[in-house]
Amino acid sequence: MNKIRKLAAGDINFAILIALTLLAIVLSGVFIGDKMFTVANIQAMAYQIPEFGFLCLAMMLSNLIGGIDLSIIAAANTIAIFTANVLNGRWAFGTDGAARIILAICVALLASILFGLFNGLLISRTSAPSLIATLGTMTLYRGIGMALTGGSSVGDIVPGFSYLGKAKLLGIPFIFWIFIIATGLLGLVLSKTTYGRALYLYGGNPVAARFSAINNERMCRSVFLLTGLFAGIAGIIILSRVNSAKVGYGDTYLLQTMIVCVIGGIHPNGGKGTVKGVLVAIIFMQLLSSAFTIMTLSPYTKKLIYGAMLILVLGMNYFINKLIQKYKTR
């Protein structure tokens, strides 16, 4: 009991998040438990989490340094379009079978690093605010995808590739393993390495970081490079699950990733938040969207709920912080 109290006092937002998630599990178990907690639905959730999760991790990283990356979804779609073009043989350069899949993944990773690096260079070299810089690159990346496809979807990819999205390891989807490993690595890097400490300091107070011998520009570039990389991985996963790529897939993810970051305890002004919070928030969000799908809510109702949720969580955080301040000063 003492331990729990200690834990709750240490990170009250995380404790609330855990409580909310448990509440969501219990409530959905009581009302729609017969459909929610079937093996099939849990499997389906494990397949859906990775693509959304990688986008959330990307958004989290950009929020940690006090910025925001609007271009992640456009980048993911455009990278998926590149990859699909390699896989359906248009840009295959005569490769076939396994070689073509390896080439496609290389192209995707290269493109995602380029996209991320371009964001990073634009922001670090010109000191442009990340919100507006990534608004520009979002339009640009989507424009590249639109110019290539004209808005139609690119499909007809080699069947072997979709195996990546379907494969299982020890009964758990392969893409879910990738997601868990990436989350774990990111958590370790952020909490245990010099790079992680520097990142938190840079996010919390960039001017102080500059005068503490942290190379701000390199920090900024590396964060946006990682953001681009995560967006690219999300793109590969989307392609392997949907079997086709098109501009505009998952446009509602932008709001949902923002909600996940806010619920997960990432402060939008930067410097605060942990990977474990975001991980629980991703699971919470997936529980919700699965429940909404089972209850067959209209997209409009979902929009209402998500919008209200974002505002409510922001308001709740504000009150909790105020209470903590009061408690501390007393």
| Residues at the interface with other proteins (CB under 8 A) | 68, 70, 122, 125-129, 131-133, 135-144, 146-147, 149-151, 206-207, 210, 216, 251, 254-255, 258, 262, 268-269, 298, 300-308, 310-311, 314-315, 318
Question: Is the CA virtual torsion 201, 207, 210, 211 positive or negative?
Answer: negative
Closer by beta carbon to other proteins, 68 or else 281: 68
Closer by beta carbon to other proteins, 105 or else 247: 247
In the complex, minimum distance from the CB of residue 181 to other proteins, in angstroms, rounded to a whole number: 30
Closer by beta carbon to other proteins, 3 or else 326: 326
Q: Which long-range contacts (CB under 8 A, 24 or more apart) does 142-147 make?
A: 142/74, 142/77, 142/78, 142/247, 142/248, 144/78, 145/74, 145/77, 145/78, 145/81, 145/247, 146/247
Closer by beta carbon to other proteins, 92 or else 135: 135
Rounded to whole angstroms, how far apart are CA atoms 44 and 279? 18
In the complex, minimum distance from the CB of residue 146 to other proteins, in angstroms, rounded to a whole number: 4
In the complex, minimum distance from the CB of residue 151 to other proteins, in angstroms, rounded to a whole number: 5
The amino acid occupying position 36 is: M
Closer by beta carbon to other proteins, 154 or else 158: 154
Rounded to whole angstroms, how far apart are CA atoms 115 and 141? 8
In the complex, minimum distance from the CB of residue 150 to other proteins, in angstroms, rounded to a whole number: 5
Closer by beta carbon to other proteins, 155 or else 187: 155
Residue 193 corresponds to which tokens in the numbers above?
A: 């390495």
In the complex, minimum distance from the CB of residue 231 to other proteins, in angstroms, rounded to a whole number: 16
φ, ψ for residue 67 (rounded to 5)? Answer: -115, -160
Contact 112, 229 (CB under 8 A): yes
In the complex, minimum distance from the CB of residue 10 to other proteins, in angstroms, rounded to a whole number: 24
Helix (H, G, I), strand (E, B) or coil at 249: coil
Closer by beta carbon to other proteins, 169 or else 324: 324
Q: Which residues contact 230 (CB under 8 A, 6 or more apart)?
A: 54, 55, 57, 58, 61, 72, 182
Rounded to whole angstroms, how far apart are CA atoms 272 and 265? 7
Place of tokens 């890097």: 189
Helix axes 253-263, 275-294, angle to 10 degrees: 130
Closer by beta carbon to other proteins, 43 or else 139: 139
